[in-house]
Amino acid sequence: MKEDLMAQKITLQKLIGMALSEDIGSGDITTSGVLTGRERGFAKVLAKSETVVAGIDVFRETFFYLDSGIGFTAYAEDGSRVERGEAIAELHGNLMSILMAERAALNFFQRMCGIATETRQFAEAIKEYKAKIIHTRKTVPGLRVLDTYAVRVGGGYCHRFGLFDGALIKENHIEAAGSIAVAVANVRRRIPITVKIEVEVENLRQVVDALAAGADLIMLDNMSIKEMREAVTLVAGRVPLEASGNVNLANVKEVAATGVDYISSGALTHSVVAADISLRLECRD
């Protein structure tokens, strides 16, 4: 997974550059007022609650973008769980650089760790079932590469990254085309044979229609537990089923028990609670 993220080096550098430019602007008037720019020292990064680490490289690269001379030691790797009070990393170098990059670095890191921590809870809740937790496109614009990476670090799986790498026929597509059959047929004629078509359905009649139209996957949108069980029986393994809509930690196990293959939750990325992580200066050289 780390290799996948670092392969996005150009994208990552652009994101970091934009974040630092947004925050620093024409200059950090507080830090440049307090310090001369020659001070050096150490800082520790501490978990203030139990957290699944995700984005340690993004965190490090944010400091390096501003000052390549900063020393960075990671005590935890992506996917590891750290306890409250545990040190995640240590920095050493120019204090002005560390303080100027601190907020942007933590914004990336806390969000990614929050997503990974929440996803790990979902994944562990359904580990006795075959269903897999998958992400959605409900991400912060521009941060999808980081958001979806964090889901995978937490134990989730890829859905589609964007509109370009998977066909998902939703209710508005069906309405615009006139029927599920027409929508599927139109897409099938225009996409490569290697691309799968998923159809979003809202009731059992539409499940039958999607099967008849040749859907490769079917998304059960906002169905009750009873309807999901009936859909699983009706489909009988002919195509994978995805449960979506109003999934949370309180009901995800019950959803998995219906026998669906995938469970998607937009809340993993659109309603994430940032992990509680702090950076504290330990001493000056």
- Give how far the C-alpha of residue 201 lies from the chain's centroid of Cα atoms, to the nearest Å: 25
Percent of the chain at pLDDT above 70?
Answer: 98
State the Cα–Cα distance between residues 95 and 40, nearest whole angstrom.
5
Query: DSSP characters for 207-235?
Result: HHHHHHHT-SEEEEES--HHHHHHHHHHH
Known catalytic residues are: 103, 138, 170, 200, 221
pLDDT of 10 reads: 79
pLDDT of 282 reads: 85
State the Cα–Cα distance between residues 156 and 120, nearest whole angstrom.
8
pLDDT tens for each residue of 55-106: 999 999 999 999 999 999 999 999 999 999 999 999 999 999 999 999 999 9
DSSP one-letter code for 157? B
At 242 the three-state DSSP class reads strand
pLDDT tens for each residue of 143-201: 999 999 999 999 999 999 999 999 999 999 999 999 999 999 999 999 999 999 999 99
Point out which residues pair with 72 in neighbouring strands: 91
Token pair of 201, please?
A: 């359905």
Token pair of 37, please?
A: 């720019």
The answer to whether residues 241 and 216 touch, using CB atoms and an 8 Å cutoff, is no
Q: What is the pTM of this model?
A: 0.94
